[in-house]
Structure formats: C-alpha cells, structure tokens
Copies of this chain bind each other. A is one copy, B any other.
C-alpha cells in the first residue's frame, strides 16, 4: 500500500527503530545524575548531539534537541527575537513559511512586534533582492525555509543569508523538509528541523544557534539542553533521530537521484493524462521527492478519498481538506489553483511500479469526482447573452468554478460572467481558472451576498 505523504511524516527508518530499541535499555535515566545509569544516558546524549551536529554542519554545543520541529521553530524565533530586542521588533518571513513559523510571527505581532512578509513568485520562490530589500535597521530576525513543504520549491537560502549577514540580521532557516537531503547552504544563524520528517521518531526536533548569535530563551527557566529546551530529555528518541539522520544522509545522493526522476515522471505525465491540471512549484530548483498539482472542477477531499480507496496516501492543500475551509496559504501566496489539490511526497525506497500505478489510477479518480460534481465538458462557442450572473453563494470549492465553467460557453466573445460566491477558495481559483483557460479576470467587488467575481470571455 503506497504511502506518498513523506512530507507530513515519514515511516520509521529501520536504523531509527534499532537505535531506539537499544537506547530504551541504556538511555532512560536522568543524564544530569552522577550514578552509572545517568552517566550512560549522558554518553548516549552526547554522542547523538555530535552526530546530529555533524549532519547539520555546526558545533555540538550549538545544537539542542527540542520535543518537536514546531517547538524548535517557536523556541528559535522567540529566543532570537528577544536576544535582538535592542535592534528592533521587526520580523521578516517569506509568505510561504510553514505554519509553525507563521504562528510564531502572529504571536510576535500579538505581542506588539511587527511582521514583514516577503511575497513569492508563481513558483513559490522569494526573490533574493526582494528579501534583501525587506531587511531594515529595526529588523531583529529573518526566517526563510530551505524548501517549501507544499510545492517543493527550493528557496535561495545562501543568497538571502548573505544579504542578512550584510544587514547584520540573523537568519533562521526552517530546514524541516530538506535536512534529510543535505545540510543547509550558506551562512545561516539558526536552523530548525524535525526528526519524523527524515524517518526518525516523533518527539525530536533540532535547534541550532550559531555561536555569537544573540539568543534569550523565553518562558520559565529550565537547565536542560543549555536552557533552550526544558523538560526531561527524551534520549532514546534523540539517539534514534541522530542515527537515522546519518543513515538517510548516507543514502541521500543515490535516493535523491532516483526519486527526482520518479517525480519528474509525475510532473510530465499528470498533465498529459488528466485534462485541466496545473502542476505547481519550481520544476528544477525543487526537493527531489515532492510534487503538487491541482485539478480543475475537483473537490480535494473527494479525490483524496478516491485515492485512499485505491491504496494511495497523499495530502492536499485544498480548502475542503483544511479545518478552516480556506485554501493553503502557500498556494494562495503563489496565486495558483487550489481546487483538487494533491501533494505527492515519496518516502525513500518508493518503488517505481507504485508511481506508475498511481499514474494509472489518477485519471479515473479525477474523472469520477468530476462526474459526480457535474463538471462541464469543454465549452462550445457561445452565442447567448452578453452578461450572465451565476449564484454560488453557500456552495463550496470547487462548485463556484464548476458553475462558472458550465455557463461560460453561453456568453459571446467579449461577454462577461459574474460569479457570486462566499467560499474563500473562489478568490484564488476563479483567477487561476482564467489563467489556465486564457480568459480575462476583471476583478472582484463586495456583493450583497458574498463577493462578485467578474470574468470576461476573450477566446
């Protein structure tokens, strides 16, 4: 049963399992104690720290283990901001950071700080010049992911790190998606990561803070992990995390090459096999194992269920699959279609045959969902009214776009369709539909009920 959601959580690596088992017997005691069980635990912890630091590319005393990647980000952002309080209270982030970074930014804003969001292009990438321009005298900290978790686009971390160094601003790099493949490039100040993304166990994050970076841990004091990650150390999991990081790194070059080709196959074949699909993210500067595409006129959750029934586990950034019923902030920032969104992220060892079977299954799954939703056939030349209004208020993604497409063939060239909708996804998906179809998106305005989106037929 192929699991294609490694970007959420990777299955436990066999080396992690083995190391965890061994460390359960040797590493359960308090490493702060002087008796033999404590000394044994301390030795394991020290060895794990050395191994992890080597993989990160830092000194062991620059690295602490946190209870999760989220915790590493929250601790890192809060500590670096507080350490640079004198410089100012501005935090710079990219618009497509992981929610843990954006939530830390929101908390900073709620506490009176300022947040500047650097936009991305349609591939999800920040421009180094735009990032550099956002750095100001009062900037306390900058954050940039090494690669995006939803679309796989690699960010220009080394260039941005150089700009930050020039401006005297520390850069925190969230390397959660990339650390399995290699160390973070460039002159970073802080790095965060999460073990269960590389096949380590849950319960372990990494926070590396370069010597010389001002850092003031927030919250109640605790002497463990250099005062940067309170609570009893989870040594068996830490040992397993470090061992599996070494193991995946040893296989990284070969596995990256293999998965890159499988992902390339998906990137090329999906638009050939499925009509009205948009593949998102940078085609070249990307993670080797991850690809995202969106299907017009498709309900993301229904498609996920369909694929799950066929044995494929994937995730989605569509609004219908989120608890807030809004499309993924990443797709929104990129301005790409969000309906029928599917993220495929291949764990190491993924079989070629499973990818091929996915490509066999996908067209039928998409067609089935479209049929049940009453998605339109390709539009014929219209000769009807010059201006139509479609009322999709109260209807959820992808229905507003389906209703638009259904009537679009009825208006003549130069005619318009107004879609009334109150679903958040419409704001992203109606312009995206226009771009995919080569039609003109005129704009939106508030309506009595919901929002009115205006589209003009140009072809």
Contacts and interface: CB of A to CB of B under 8 A. Distances in A.
A387 interface: no
B308 A34 contact: yes
A317 interface: no
Contacts of A230: 68, 70-71, 74, 100, 103
A459 interface: no
Given A8-B29, A68-B67, A70-B232, A301 B34 contact: yes
Contacts of A221: 103, 106-107
A236 B202 contact: yes
Interface in A243-277: none
Contacts of A67: 67-68, 71, 203, 231, 234
Determine which residue in A34, A35, A237, A315 has the highest number of CB atoms from chain B within 10 A of its CB, and name it. Answer: A35
Given A30-B8, A219-B74, A222-B70, A234 B36 contact: no
Nearest to A304: B34
Interface in A189-224: 194, 196, 201-203, 205, 219-223
A104 interface: yes
Contact of A220 (B1, B20, B107): B107
B28 A196 contact: yes
A11 interface: yes
A278 interface: no
Interface string A65-80: 0011111001000100
A315 B71 CA distance: 30
A1 B36 contact: yes
A305 interface: yes
A34 B222 CA distance: 37
Contacts of A305: 34
Contact of A313 (B12, B33, B74, B201): B33
Contacts of A154: none
A355 interface: no
Given A30-B8, A107-B221, A35 B314 contact: yes
A234 B35 contact: no
A37 interface: yes
Contact of A304 (B17, B35, B315): B35
14 contacts: A1-B36, A5-B37, A8-B33, A9-B29, A11-B28, A24-B201, A35-B308, A67-B71, A70-B232, A103-B222, A194-B232, A202-B235, A202-B237, A203-B234
8 A-B pairs with least C-beta separation: A68-B231, A67-B67, A35-B313, A203-B234, A70-B231, A103-B220, A202-B234, A107-B220
